[in-house]
Structure formats: C-alpha cells, structure tokens
Structure 1
Amino acid sequence: MPEGTPNVVPETTADAPSEPRPRRRGRTTLIVATAAVLGLVAGTCAGFLVQAHRAPTRLPSLSQPVLTQAKGPGPEPLSAAQDHRVKTNGDLRKLLLTRPKGTKEGHWAGNDGWMDLPEYADNYEKPAKVFPDLISDEFRRAAVVGWDEGSTYTVEIRLVQFHQEETLKAGEYADSGYYWAEKEGGTRSWSVPGTEDGMAYVHTRPETKPGYYPMYSAEAHAWRGDIAMEIWVYGTKQISKDKIMDLAKRQVGRL
C-alpha cells in the first residue's frame, strides 16, 4: 500500500451478515444419525447373544469389613467469634460502624436503625417494581446507620440480609451495585481489601440542578455470607478515595 494511503475497512454488504447464523441441520446429518442408531441396536443385540453363551460370573460377597469408630471426643463446636451465623443472626445493627462523634444522626436512617422491606424498596427509582422482586429474592431485613458531617458530607451505610434458601442473593445484589456504579461517567474504582470482589467508587462528575449546589457522590459495595454491604457518601465537595475506602475497609472488618 502506498505511503500515506489510509486504511479503509470494506463495507459490509447485504449478502455478508455481520454475525454468522447457526447452520441448519441437513438431510445428510439425519441419515448419519439414523444409521448410527441402527448400528447401536444391532450391536446391542449381538452383545446379548454373546453374553447368553457365557458362564455366569461369581459375584463378590455383600459383606464388608466393619469400620471401627475413632476414639476420643469429637471436634469442638465453633465459638461465637468464629461462627459467622452466630454473628449475623443476632442484632444486625451491632455490626454497623458507629456514628462518629461530632456528627449529626441522619433523620432518614431508618426506624431505630432498621429498614423494613417497603422502606428499602423506596430507595429505588421504581419501588413498585422492586418490591415484589425483593420478596422473591428472599429479603430478610436491613440495618442502617447514617450521619451528616457538618453541611459538607452525608454518609449512609446499609447491611442488607437475605434468607438465601435457594440462591446467593447477597452476591447478586453486590454485583448489581458494581454494574450501576460503573455505568456513571467520570468514575474511578478500586478493590476493597479483605473482600473477594468488593469495590469502591468515586464519581468525579457532580449532579447539578438549578438553584442547588453541585452534588458529588461515592459508593462502595461488597458482600459476605448472606449480607450485602452498601455505603453511600454525598457531598458538596469532591469526595476522596481515602474517605470511601476507609469506610469500606472498616465496615467489612466488622462482618
């Protein structure tokens, strides 16, 4: 190609689809399949005839050696500190971070630290659609804490617990958090230490409305066992990576 000539990608014609379609099953394939079935039946019949002329094979004895049970005490049960179920089946609010001194408790932070199903669904853009989904997803309960740091920042942390009789919904809800966080433009992200796939996000582009200050946001999502962790930070100033990561690491450490 002469120097300076641009690379041109040939246009796709109507006879050359961009995606290959699955090949149809032809008559030849059906014939081969039928022959294979007939051959299988013939081979099976021949096998029965050969086996009928053989002497019977003696079967092994049904009795098996008796296994002796190990002596000594069995394994000790896990302590409350080691058993995750003991920790998460209690008062879920005790696993939340404590509101820092000098901050003001958020009036929106649930009823006495609890958020029932309608309240939790109301946090979504379409609560009426989310409500039945939460029921089918075996929503169990949600604990929440939140605070205002002066007039600059607002923090909210939720621990959402699922029954998980059928599927691991806590992990699915964390995945949903990752998906929507990454869809926002101007987003930076980092892995949260101490988690399998937990992530923290800082959105560098503020939400703007006439008559209001620009609103910046950051969030973190992770899960452990039957609990999905959600952290939200809003502010009139840019939110740092250190701020959202500190909250995420400390909250994960309590689960």
Structure 2
Amino acid sequence: MEPNDTVSPTSRPRGRTALIIAAAALLGISGGTAVGYGIQSQRPPTPLPALSQPGLAYPAKPLAADRAPAPLPAAEDRRVRTDGDLRKLLLERPEGAEASPAHPTKGGEWLPFSDYVRQFQDGRSMFLYLAENDLRRIAVAEWMEGKGRQSTIALVQFRSDATMGAADHLGGQLSYMPEKKDGAGNAGDPLEGTESGRYFLYPVAREPGYLPVYQARALAVRGDIMIDVNIADTKPISKKDIRVLAERQLERL
C-alpha cells in the first residue's frame, strides 16, 4: 500500500476470511437440512383428513323421476337452436324486398371467413384475431328495398368453450364506434334486452357527383353469437329503423 492510500472505515475487504465464513454458513445450512430430513423420515406419516364432508349442498341420493326437473324443450334451449343450421336463424327477406346481388339466397347463406374480414381496414389483423379466438362460422342475409336501401345481417358464431369469443369481439367493435375516422362518431344508444348491445347512426357521407350515403349499425351478443346489423341508404335512416331490425333478429335467437 502506498503511503497516501487509505482504507474506508465503512468498507470490508473481501479476502480469504470472507470466503471461509461463507463456506461455513453454507455447510451449516446443508447439515441442518440433512438432519431435518433424517428426523422426519423416522416419524410415522400424518393421516390426511377425510374427503367426505357432512352437509353437502347436493342430495345424497338422486331425485325421484317425478321430482327431477324436466329438460328444456328444443324451442327454449338456446344451445340446441344455435348448434343447428345457423342460416335458419337469420331474418327472412321481407315481402317486396329484392335479392342482393352479393347474397341472393333468400334464407341466408354461409359467409367465407376471408370475405368477412375483408370489410375491415386491417383485414390481416382481424383474420388472426378471430382465428385465435376460435371463430366457428358466419351466416349472412342481405336484401334491397326501395330505390337504394340495403340491409345486411351477419351472425358471427364462436365456439362455446372459447376463452373470449363473441363478447370479446363485440367489445372490440364497440370500442372504435365513437371514433369519427373509423366509427360512427358517437356513443350510440343502448339496445334494450341486451347487456351491452348498442345501435348507431353514422353522419351522412357526401361526395361531389354521388348520391349521399346514410348508414346505421347495431351490435349485440346472444350466447356465442355476435349479431352485426347494417343498413345503408341514399335517404336518411331513422333510429327506429335500425333498432327494430336488430330487435327482430335478437328475437330469432
């Protein structure tokens, strides 16, 4: 050590003494652990408590046949209805309405996965999102009324055991609807009879040389199905128009 070098009184050298102390502490811990295991191994095992407990909520014996609740009829069992042909649960084309060139089938038709995601700005991200959330199938119905009104209903069904599914897809759609750029630019109105369903009127879209475009949309969930209802027209659409159409579709489910 040079004459001007000093050792701070608060610091401790980390030489052989420190290593010896650390090694002794490690041996002490290891030895104590070994002795503890040896003592425990010589003791008799502690019996576990009985699994059966008194006063369980379910009956000790099955209910008699005359007391057991009857199963729901197929007409009231939503799972039975939605597991069948989903196209039959779509609203039928109203009388006087014309077939849509894109979806001419009167009773509805299956919509390919790729066609559904194509309507979103970032179709690739939507494709991956729906695939990860176990999208099952999509049924669609569309018709034309008057001189320029087009109504479209899509039933987007997810697998019943999916972690997210229809409710999560609904939440994603509702999240951007208040935005002016991609959505309707307003918070919409609650759809009665649903937990979080809403319907929206978009601001009119005008471009020089073209007729004005009015649009309305309703979104809701029934079990594992998200309902997406859209109306487009060259004339104004009332809130009642989109609300009633969505309510009628909800009743079908």
Paired residues of 2:117 and 2:127 also in contact (CA < 8 A): yes
Paired residues of 1:109 and 1:156 also in contact (CA < 8 A): no
Matched, 1:165 2:150: no
Paired residues of 2:219 and 2:228 also in contact (CA < 8 A): yes
The alpha carbon displacement at 1:177 in A equals 2.2
Deviation by residue 1:123-160 (Cα, 9 ceiling, x = unmatched): 21232332222211211111111111122311100000
Deviation by residue 1:55-110 (Cα, 9 ceiling, x = unmatched): xxxx9995969974145113322211221110000011111111111111112238
Deviation by residue 1:178-231 (Cα, 9 ceiling, x = unmatched): 22222136536211111111101112x212233211111110000011000000
In 2, Cα distance between equivalents of 1:140 and 1:172: 14
User: The residue matched to 2:174 in structure 1 has which SS?
Assistant: helix
Query: What TM-score does the superposition give when structure 1 sets the normalisation length?
Result: 0.70
- Superposed, which structure 2 residues align to 1:196-215 within 5 Å? 196-203=195-202, 205-215=203-213
The residue type equivalent to 1:83 in the other structure is D
Of residues 129, 132, 139 in structure 1, which corresponds to 2:128?
132
Query: Structure 1 residues 61, 226: closer, same or farther in 2, change over 3 A?
Result: closer
Query: Structure 1 residues 109, 125: closer, same or farther in 2, change over 3 A?
Result: farther
The alpha carbon displacement at 1:164 in A equals 4.1
Query: Structure 1 residues 76, 244: closer, same or farther in 2, change over 3 A?
Result: same
- Superposed, which structure 2 residues align to 1:186-205 within 5 Å? 187=186, 189-203=188-202, 205=203
In 1, Cα distance between equivalents of 2:173 and 2:128: 19
Of residues 64, 77, 82 in structure 2, which corresponds to 1:72?
64
Question: Alignment RMSD, CA only?
Answer: 3.0
In 2, Cα distance between equivalents of 1:91 and 1:60: 52
Number of aligned positions between the proteins: 202
Query: Structure 1 residues 183, 110: closer, same or farther in 2, change over 3 A?
Result: farther
Structure ID, larger Rg = 2
Deviation by residue 1:3-37 (Cα, 9 ceiling, x = unmatched): xxxxxxxxxxxxxxxxxxxxxxxxxxxxxxxxxxx
In 2, Cα distance between equivalents of 1:172 and 1:230: 14
User: The residue matched to 2:204 in structure 1 has which SS?
Assistant: strand
In 2, Cα distance between equivalents of 1:64 and 1:186: 59
The alpha carbon displacement at 1:237 in A equals 1.4
In 2, Cα distance between equivalents of 1:96 and 1:84: 14
In 2, Cα distance between equivalents of 1:170 and 1:189: 20
In 2, Cα distance between equivalents of 1:222 and 1:63: 45
Query: What TM-score does the superposition give when structure 2 sets the normalisation length?
Result: 0.70
In 2, Cα distance between equivalents of 1:144 and 1:104: 15
Query: Structure 1 residues 65, 79: closer, same or farther in 2, change over 3 A?
Result: same
The residue type equivalent to 1:80 in the other structure is A
Aligned to 2:114: 118
Structure 2 unaligned residues grouped into runs of 5+: 1-46
Structure 1 unaligned residues grouped into runs of 5+: 1-58
Matched, 1:177 2:169: no
Of residues 54, 79, 83 in structure 2, which corresponds to 1:89?
83
Query: Structure 1 residues 110, 174: closer, same or farther in 2, change over 3 A?
Result: farther
In 1, Cα distance between equivalents of 2:208 and 2:237: 21
Query: Structure 1 residues 129, 77: closer, same or farther in 2, change over 3 A?
Result: same
Query: Structure 1 residues 147, 69: closer, same or farther in 2, change over 3 A?
Result: same
